[in-house]
Protein backbone atom coordinates (compact mmCIF):
# COMPACT_ATOMS: atom_id res chain seq x y z
CA UNK A 1 0.00 0.00 0.00
CA UNK A 2 1.36 3.44 -0.97
CA UNK A 3 2.04 5.92 1.83
CA UNK A 4 -0.52 8.47 0.59
CA UNK A 5 -3.19 5.78 0.36
CA UNK A 6 -2.31 4.53 3.85
CA UNK A 7 -2.56 8.05 5.27
CA UNK A 8 -5.93 8.61 3.58
CA UNK A 9 -7.27 5.31 4.89
CA UNK A 10 -5.96 6.07 8.40
CA UNK A 11 -7.64 9.45 8.34
CA UNK A 12 -10.88 7.77 7.24
CA UNK A 13 -10.67 5.43 10.26
CA UNK A 14 -9.96 2.22 8.31
CA UNK A 15 -9.12 -0.52 10.84
CA UNK A 16 -6.99 -2.48 8.34
CA UNK A 17 -4.91 0.65 7.72
CA UNK A 18 -4.23 0.91 11.47
CA UNK A 19 -3.08 -2.71 11.49
CA UNK A 20 -0.84 -2.02 8.47
CA UNK A 21 0.65 1.03 10.14
CA UNK A 22 1.36 -0.86 13.34
CA UNK A 23 2.86 -3.89 11.61
CA UNK A 24 5.00 -1.68 9.37
CA UNK A 25 6.29 0.76 11.96
CA UNK A 26 6.04 -0.79 15.44
CA UNK A 27 9.61 -2.17 15.37
CA UNK A 28 11.00 1.24 14.41
CA UNK A 29 9.01 2.99 17.16
CA UNK A 30 9.96 0.37 19.78
CA UNK A 31 13.67 0.56 18.88
CA UNK A 32 13.72 4.31 19.29
CA UNK A 33 11.77 4.11 22.56
CA UNK A 34 14.18 1.50 23.87
CA UNK A 35 17.24 3.57 22.93
CA UNK A 36 15.83 6.71 24.52
CA UNK A 37 14.29 5.13 27.63
CA UNK A 38 16.78 2.27 28.16
CA UNK A 39 14.18 -0.07 29.61
CA UNK A 40 12.32 -2.77 27.68
CA UNK A 41 9.06 -2.60 29.63
CA UNK A 42 8.99 1.17 29.53
CA UNK A 43 9.73 1.05 25.79
CA UNK A 44 6.80 -1.34 25.25
CA UNK A 45 4.48 0.99 27.17
CA UNK A 46 5.79 4.01 25.28
CA UNK A 47 5.31 2.23 21.94
CA UNK A 48 1.66 1.56 22.79
CA UNK A 49 1.23 5.16 23.93
CA UNK A 50 2.74 6.48 20.71
CA UNK A 51 0.40 4.40 18.53
CA UNK A 52 -2.61 5.43 20.61
CA UNK A 53 -1.59 9.05 20.08
CA UNK A 54 -1.00 8.41 16.36
CA UNK A 55 -4.49 6.97 16.03
CA UNK A 56 -6.04 10.02 17.69
CA UNK A 57 -3.83 12.58 15.91
CA UNK A 58 -3.65 11.12 12.38
CA UNK A 59 -6.47 13.34 11.14
CA UNK A 60 -4.24 16.35 11.85
CA UNK A 61 -1.36 14.91 9.80
CA UNK A 62 -0.96 17.09 6.69
CA UNK A 63 1.58 14.86 4.89
CA UNK A 64 4.11 17.68 4.54
CA UNK A 65 6.75 15.20 5.69
CA UNK A 66 7.01 11.45 5.31
CA UNK A 67 4.87 9.34 7.59
CA UNK A 68 8.00 7.79 9.13
CA UNK A 69 9.39 11.25 9.96
CA UNK A 70 6.12 12.17 11.66
CA UNK A 71 6.22 8.90 13.65
CA UNK A 72 9.85 9.48 14.65
CA UNK A 73 9.00 13.00 15.80
CA UNK A 74 5.97 11.84 17.78
CA UNK A 75 8.00 9.01 19.37
CA UNK A 76 10.87 11.31 20.20
CA UNK A 77 8.58 13.88 21.84
CA UNK A 78 6.76 11.20 23.81
CA UNK A 79 9.98 9.61 25.10
CA UNK A 80 11.55 12.94 26.01
CA UNK A 81 8.41 13.84 27.95
CA UNK A 82 8.52 10.46 29.75
CA UNK A 83 12.18 11.04 30.66
CA UNK A 84 11.35 14.48 32.07
CA UNK A 85 8.46 13.06 34.10
CA UNK A 86 10.69 10.26 35.36
CA UNK A 87 13.36 12.75 36.46
CA UNK A 88 10.74 14.80 38.30
CA UNK A 89 9.40 11.68 40.00
CA UNK A 90 12.91 10.59 41.01
CA UNK A 91 13.57 14.02 42.46
CA UNK A 92 10.64 13.52 44.81
CA UNK A 93 11.48 9.92 45.71
CA UNK A 94 14.42 8.17 47.32
CA UNK A 95 14.64 5.41 44.68
CA UNK A 96 17.84 6.86 43.24
CA UNK A 97 19.60 6.02 46.52
CA UNK A 98 19.04 2.32 45.84
CA UNK A 99 21.42 2.41 42.89
CA UNK A 100 19.13 2.35 39.87
CA UNK A 101 17.64 -0.42 37.82
CA UNK A 102 18.58 -4.08 37.87
CA UNK A 103 19.71 -5.73 34.65
CA UNK A 104 19.18 -9.34 33.67
CA UNK A 105 22.44 -11.15 33.02
CA UNK A 106 23.11 -13.63 30.28
CA UNK A 107 23.75 -17.13 31.63
CA UNK A 108 25.69 -18.21 28.57
CA UNK A 109 28.28 -15.42 28.78
CA UNK A 110 31.56 -15.78 30.67
CA UNK A 111 31.19 -13.90 34.00
CA UNK A 112 34.39 -11.89 33.47
CA UNK A 113 33.36 -10.95 29.92
CA UNK A 114 29.87 -10.07 31.16
CA UNK A 115 31.28 -7.73 33.81
CA UNK A 116 33.64 -6.14 31.28
CA UNK A 117 30.83 -5.66 28.74
CA UNK A 118 28.53 -4.15 31.37
CA UNK A 119 31.26 -1.77 32.49
CA UNK A 120 31.95 -0.72 28.91
CA UNK A 121 28.23 -0.30 28.18
CA UNK A 122 27.78 1.76 31.34
CA UNK A 123 30.72 4.02 30.47
CA UNK A 124 29.30 4.59 26.99
CA UNK A 125 25.75 5.11 28.30
CA UNK A 126 26.98 7.62 30.88
CA UNK A 127 28.98 9.49 28.24
CA UNK A 128 25.98 9.63 25.89
CA UNK A 129 23.72 10.75 28.76
CA UNK A 130 26.13 13.63 29.45
CA UNK A 131 25.50 15.06 25.97
CA UNK A 132 22.93 17.79 25.54
CA UNK A 133 19.46 16.54 24.65
CA UNK A 134 19.76 17.82 21.07
CA UNK A 135 23.18 16.22 20.54
CA UNK A 136 22.12 12.92 22.12
CA UNK A 137 18.95 12.75 20.01
CA UNK A 138 20.76 13.52 16.75
CA UNK A 139 23.45 10.95 17.55
CA UNK A 140 20.93 8.22 18.41
CA UNK A 141 18.91 8.84 15.26
CA UNK A 142 22.07 8.78 13.11
CA UNK A 143 24.19 6.03 14.66
CA UNK A 144 21.61 3.69 16.14
CA UNK A 145 18.61 4.26 13.85
CA UNK A 146 20.67 4.72 10.68
CA UNK A 147 18.79 7.79 9.47
CA UNK A 148 20.29 10.28 7.02
CA UNK A 149 21.03 13.85 8.08
CA UNK A 150 18.13 14.99 5.89
CA UNK A 151 15.71 12.64 7.64
CA UNK A 152 16.99 13.73 11.05
CA UNK A 153 16.56 17.39 10.06
CA UNK A 154 12.92 16.71 9.15
CA UNK A 155 12.28 14.90 12.42
CA UNK A 156 14.01 17.52 14.58
CA UNK A 157 12.58 20.34 12.48
CA UNK A 158 15.95 21.99 11.91
CA UNK A 159 18.44 22.41 9.07
CA UNK A 160 20.80 19.70 7.83
CA UNK A 161 23.68 21.96 8.90
CA UNK A 162 22.30 22.01 12.45
CA UNK A 163 22.15 18.20 12.44
CA UNK A 164 25.73 17.99 11.18
CA UNK A 165 26.85 20.40 13.89
CA UNK A 166 25.02 18.51 16.65
CA UNK A 167 26.51 15.18 15.60
CA UNK A 168 30.00 16.66 15.21
CA UNK A 169 29.82 18.25 18.67
CA UNK A 170 28.45 15.01 20.17
CA UNK A 171 31.33 12.98 18.69
CA UNK A 172 33.83 15.56 19.90
CA UNK A 173 32.46 15.42 23.46
CA UNK A 174 32.35 11.62 23.43
CA UNK A 175 35.98 11.45 22.29
CA UNK A 176 37.05 13.79 25.10
CA UNK A 177 35.28 11.60 27.64
CA UNK A 178 36.05 8.14 26.27
CA UNK A 179 39.62 8.32 24.96
CA UNK A 180 41.17 8.90 28.42
CA UNK A 181 39.11 6.01 29.79
CA UNK A 182 40.22 3.69 26.99
CA UNK A 183 43.87 4.51 27.69
CA UNK A 184 43.41 3.61 31.38
CA UNK A 185 41.65 0.29 30.79
CA UNK A 186 42.06 -2.88 28.80
CA UNK A 187 38.82 -2.29 26.80
pLDDT digits (tens, 9 = 90+) for 18-57: 999 999 999 999 999 999 888 899 999 999 999 999 988 8
Whether the predicted pLDDT of 108 surpasses 60: no
Domain co-membership, 72 together with 146? no
Worst-scoring range by mean pLDDT, 59-63, 83-87, 169-173? Answer: 83-87
Q: Tell me the residue range of the domain where 28 lies.
A: 1-100
Q: Is 170 exposed, middle or buried (0-12, 13-18, 19+ CB in 10 A)?
A: buried
Let me know whether 116 and 178 are in one domain: yes
Element containing residue 116 per DSSP (H, E): helix 111-129
Q: Do 2 and 68 lie in a common domain?
A: yes
Closest CA to 146 of 78, 82, 45, 68: 68
The CATH number assigned to the domain holding 91 equals 1.10.1740.10
- The total number of structural domains in the chain stands at 2
Distance CA 77, CA 85 (A): 12
Amino acid sequence: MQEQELIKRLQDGDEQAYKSLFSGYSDMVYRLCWRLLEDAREAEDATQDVFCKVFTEVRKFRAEAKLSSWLYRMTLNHCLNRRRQKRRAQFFSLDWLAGGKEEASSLSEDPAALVERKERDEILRTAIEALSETQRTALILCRFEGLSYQEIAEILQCSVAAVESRIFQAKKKLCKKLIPLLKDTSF
